[in-house]
Amino acid sequence: MPEKKKQELKDRAPIVAAYLRVSTDKQTILNQKSEVINFCHRQELKITMWCTETVSGTKKESERELGTLLKKLQKGDVLIITEVSRKMMNIMNIIHQSIEKGITIHSIKEGYKFDSSINSQVLAFAFGLCAEIERTLISQRTREALARRRAQGIKLGRPKGS
Q: Provide the 10 A C-beta neighbour count for residue 1.
A: 6
CA distance linking residue 83 with residue 46, whole number of Å: 19
Q: Which letter, b or e, does each residue of 121-144 get, where b requires 16 or more Cβ atoms within 10 Å of its Cβ?
A: eebbeebeeebeeeeeeeeeeeee
Annotated catalytic residue 107: no
The one catalytic residue among 23, 34, 62, 139: 23
Catalytic residue ranges: 23
